[in-house]
């Protein structure tokens, strides 16, 4: 019996050394130390042995059982490690692989320009006032000194809704009326940014929708010189301190006098190029002193109050700064364009 026990131990340990899968390991385990295993069988049959042999067999059987248990556990752990190493190697999970980049969105180039513009005007004390995009004909035109049938309306044809007298605003200027009516007779210093709409033939330089930033200052003793100084300060902050600025006479029904603001072409430094049509200058805004009729429509007495207003195109400014040659890219939703910013 003792001999057999030593044999089982030696044989099992030898087999264990070459066992490579856990199924075979478990089979060998139950054949030896399992419930129906040989060693378990020997332990159970000790009672049938002659009394003088019992202690020695019992002791050895228990020792062998404990040693084999330890050997099985050790081999099992070894196989587990092997399996893990194999699965890592075969690439089930390669923890060293760099992660897949999560696509992140970014700000639209127009949003970025708008934020820069807001920051400059904020420094000069202008607050943002949001005005509606769906507007009344009355506010978009009539209250801005363009009564029905006024020829200036032709410059700003737009999209009309099925409701009589309601349209998509053609410029941010109707916001002037809303802000004045809300704050009169307080002094005002605001910018009014947002989308405007025009019924136009779409080309590289004109779109049916684009952003403007309107500005309005109303108060006591506001003069043309304030407007010029303010526009020059803005242009230098946006385009660089040594940019030259010039003012040209112009006409808008809602300002008097009116002007266009030009900056020295930022692409050719005033030398003359395709973008500035060889003039050396780029138009950045329309502006002027608020017309007395408009002041009155806003609730201010033009004999006491005066003010200036301006309006600039945001896509225009962005095109110049990034050398973008077609305005249609902005709202065409082409990622190849948008991802460049
Ligand atoms: N609203 C004018 C336009 O869209 C721009 C402008 C605004 C001009 C304010 C003068 C004063 O062309």
Decide: residue 290, CB within 10 A, 0-12 exposed, 13-18 middle, 19+ buried.
buried
The tens digit of pLDDT for each residue in 106-148 reads 999 999 999 999 999 999 999 999 999 999 999 999 999 999 9
Task: List the chain domain ranges.
Answer: 2-89, 109-338
Query: Which atom of ligand 1 is closest in space to residue 216's alpha carbon?
Result: 9
Q: Does the structure show a pLDDT above 80 at 68? A: yes
Kindly give the distance from the C-alpha atom of residue 252 to the centroid of ligand 1, in angstroms, as a whole number.
7
- Say what the pTM is: 0.71
Query: Which atom of ligand 1 is closest in space to residue 176's alpha carbon?
Result: 9
126 versus 202: which is more confidently predicted?
Answer: 126
- The percent of residues in the chain predicted with pLDDT above 90, rounded, is 72
Q: Does the structure show a pLDDT above 70 at 183? A: yes
User: How many CA atoms lie within 13 Å of 255's alpha carbon, on the beta-carbon side?
Assistant: 28
Q: Does the structure show a pLDDT above 80 at 35? A: yes
Unique residue bearing structure tokens 């035109």 = 141
Band (92; pLDDT cuts 50, 70, 90): low
- Average pLDDT for residues 203-229, to the nearest whole number? 95
Class of domain 109-338: alpha beta
In the structure, which protein residues have their CB atom closer than 6 angstroms to any atom of ligand 1? 171, 173, 214, 252, 255, 286-288, 309-311
Kindly report the CA angle at 264 between 258 and 268, in degrees rounded to 5?
145
- Average pLDDT for residues 209-233, to the nearest whole number? 97
Q: Mutation test of ligand 1: which of 254, 257, 298 has the most ligand atoms closer than 8 Å to its C-beta?
A: 254
Q: Does the structure show a pLDDT above 70 at 162? A: yes
What is the per-residue DSSP string for 61-122?
A: HHHHHHHHHHHHHHHHHHHHHHHHHHHHHTTSS-TTSPPPPPP-----HHHHHHHHHHHHHH
């Amino acid at each position: 019996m003792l001999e057999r026990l030593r044999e089982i131990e030696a044989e099992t340990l030898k087999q264990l050394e070459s066992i490579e899968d856990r199924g075979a390991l478990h089979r060998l385990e139950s054949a030896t130390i399992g419930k129906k295993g040989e060693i378990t069988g020997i332990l159970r049959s000790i009672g049938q042995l002659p009394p003088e042999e019992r202690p020695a067999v019992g002791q050895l059987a228990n020792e062998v059982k404990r040693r084999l248990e330890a050997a099985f556990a050790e081999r099992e752990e070894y196989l587990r490690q092997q399996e893990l190493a194999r699965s890592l190697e075969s690439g089930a999970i390669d923890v060293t692989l760099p992660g897949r980049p999560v696509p992140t969105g970014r700000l639209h180039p127009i949003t970025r320009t708008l934020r820069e513009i807001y920051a400059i005007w904020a420094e000069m004390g202008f607050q943002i006032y949001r005005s509606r995009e769906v507007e009344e004909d009355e506010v978009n035109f009539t209250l801005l000194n363009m009564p029905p049938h006024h020829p200036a309306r032709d410059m700003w044809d737009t999209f009309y809704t099925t409701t009589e007298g309601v349209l998509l605003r053609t410029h941010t200027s109707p916001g002037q009326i809303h802000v004045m009516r809300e704050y009169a007779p307080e002094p005002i210093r605001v910018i009014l940014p947002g989308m405007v709409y025009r019924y136009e033939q779409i080309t590289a330089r004109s779109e049916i929708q684009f952003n403007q930033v309107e500005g309005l200052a109303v108060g006591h003793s506001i003069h043309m010189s304030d407007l010029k100084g303010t526009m020059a300060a803005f242009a230098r902050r946006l385009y660089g301190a040594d940019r030259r600025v010039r003012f040209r006479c112009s006409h808008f029904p809602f300002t008097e006098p009116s002007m266009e603001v030009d900056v020295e072409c930022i692409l050719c430094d005033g030398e003359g190029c395709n973008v500035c049509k060889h003039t050396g200058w780029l138009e950045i805004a329309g502006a002027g002193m608020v017309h007395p009729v408009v002041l009155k429509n806003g609730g201010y007495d033009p004999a006491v109050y005066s003010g200036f207003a301006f309006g600039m195109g945001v896509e225009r400014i962005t095109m110049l700064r990034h050398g973008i040659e077609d305005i249609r890219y902005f709202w065409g939703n082409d990622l190849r364009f948008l991802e460049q910013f």
